[in-house]
A and B are shown apart, each in its own frame.
Chain A
Amino acid sequence: MKVFVPVKRVVDYNVKVRVKSDGTGVDLANVKMSMNPFDEIAIEEAVRLKEAGVATEVVAISCGTAASQETLRTALAIGADRAILVETDADVQPLAVAKLLKALVDKEGPQLVILGKQAIDDDSNQTGQMLAALLGWSQATFASKVVIAGGKAAVTREVDGGLETLELTMPAVVTTDLRLNEPRYATLPNIMKAKKKPLDTFKPADLGVDVAPRLTTLKVVEPAKRQAGIKVADVAQLLDKLKNEAKVI
Chain B
Amino acid sequence: MDFTFTEDQIAFRDATRRFLMTEAAPEMLREIWETDAGRSPELRAKFASQGLTALSVPEANGGLGFGDVDWALMAQELGYYGIPDSLADTACVAVGLLAGLADDTPGRDTWLERVVAGSIRIAVGHPINPLVADAHLADLLLLHDKGEVHAVPRSAVDVRASQSIDQSRRLGQVTWQPTSATRVADAAKGQGLWADAFDRGALCTAGQLLGLAQRMLDLSVDYVAQRKQFGRPIGSFQAIKHQLADVATRIEFAGPVLYRAAESLANRRAHASVHVSHAKLACAEAAWLAARKGIQVHGAMGYTWEVDLQMFMKRAWALDAAWGDRGFHKTRINDFVLGDGASLGPGRNFME
Distance in Å: Cβ of A72 to nearest Cβ of chain B: 12
Binds B, one of A57-65, A128-136, A152-160, A184-192: A184-192
Residues of chain A lying within 8 A (CB to CB) of residue B138: none
Provide the bound-state CA to CA distance between A187 and B64, in Å. 12
Majority-rule SS of B interface residues: helix
**Which residue of the partner chain, among B7, B16, B54, contacts A189 with CB atoms under 8 Å?**
B54
**Contact between chains at B64 and A188 (CB < 8 Å):** yes
Provide the bound-state CA to CA distance between A9 and B21, in Å. 20
Distance in Å: Cβ of A164 to nearest Cβ of chain B: 30
Does residue B156 face the partner (Cβ distance < 8 Å to A)? no
Provide the bound-state CA to CA distance between A71 and B16, in Å. 16
Distance in Å: Cβ of B247 to nearest Cβ of chain A: 21
- Per the CB 8 Å criterion, the residue count for chain B at the interface is 16
* Number of A-B contacts defined by CB within 8 Å: 35
Does residue B42 face the partner (Cβ distance < 8 Å to A)? no
Asked, given contacts A187-B49, A187-B50, whether A192 binds B15 with beta carbons under 8 Å apart, the answer is: no
Does residue A73 face the partner (Cβ distance < 8 Å to B)? yes
User: Which residue from chain B places its CB closest to the CB of A190 in the assembled complex?
Assistant: B51
Distance in Å: Cβ of B179 to nearest Cβ of chain A: 38
Distance in Å: Cβ of B45 to nearest Cβ of chain A: 13
Candidate in A185, A188, A190, A191 with the most chain B CB atoms within 10 angstroms: A188
**Contact between chains at B49 and A188 (CB < 8 Å):** no
**Which residue of the partner chain, among B7, B21, B55, contacts A188 with CB atoms under 8 Å?**
B55
User: Which residue from chain A places its CB closest to the CB of B55 in the assembled complex?
Assistant: A188
Map CB proximity to A onto B98-137 as digits: 1 under 8 Å, 0 otherwise.
Answer: 0000000000000000000000000000000000000000
Does residue B242 face the partner (Cβ distance < 8 Å to A)? no
Does residue B306 face the partner (Cβ distance < 8 Å to A)? no
Does residue B223 face the partner (Cβ distance < 8 Å to A)? no
Residues of chain A lying within 8 A (CB to CB) of residue B19: 185
Residues of chain B lying within 8 A (CB to CB) of residue A186: 15
**Which residue of the partner chain, among A14, A70, A188, contacts B51 with CB atoms under 8 Å?**
A188
Does residue B18 face the partner (Cβ distance < 8 Å to A)? yes
**Which residue of the partner chain, among A14, A70, A191, contacts B12 with CB atoms under 8 Å?**
A191
User: Which residue from chain A places its CB closest to the CB of B22 in the assembled complex?
Assistant: A185
Residues of chain B lying within 8 A (CB to CB) of residue A77: 11, 15
Does residue B52 face the partner (Cβ distance < 8 Å to A)? yes
Which residues of B, 139-173, contact A by the 8 Å Cβ criterion?
none
**Which residue of the partner chain, among A14, A188, A195, contacts B15 with CB atoms under 8 Å?**
A188
Provide the bound-state CA to CA distance between A73 and B11, in Å. 10
Residues of chain A lying within 8 A (CB to CB) of residue B352: none
Provide the bound-state CA to CA distance between A211 and B171, in Å. 62
Candidate in B8, B11, B19 with the most chain A CB atoms within 10 angstroms: B11
Candidate in A190, A192, A195 with the most chain B CB atoms within 10 angstroms: A192
Which residues of A, 187-241, contact B by the 8 Å Cβ criterion?
187-192, 195
Distance in Å: Cβ of B15 to nearest Cβ of chain A: 5
User: Which residue from chain A places its CB closest to the CB of B116 in the assembled complex?
Assistant: A189
Residues of chain A lying within 8 A (CB to CB) of residue B8: 191-192, 195
**Contact between chains at A189 and B11 (CB < 8 Å):** no
Provide the bound-state CA to CA distance between A195 and B6, in Å. 13
Provide the bound-state CA to CA distance between A73 and B14, in Å. 13
Given A188-B15, A189-B64, 7 more contacts at CB 8 Å? A77-B15, A185-B18, A185-B19, A187-B15, A188-B54, A188-B55, A189-B51
**Contact residues of A with B, CB < 8 Å?**
14, 70, 73, 77, 185-192, 195
Can you name 14 A-B pairs with beta carbons within 8 Å? A14-B21, A77-B11, A77-B15, A185-B19, A185-B50, A186-B15, A187-B49, A187-B50, A187-B51, A188-B51, A188-B64, A190-B51, A191-B15, A192-B8
**Contact residues of B with A, CB < 8 Å?**
7-8, 11-12, 15-16, 18-19, 21, 49-52, 54-55, 64
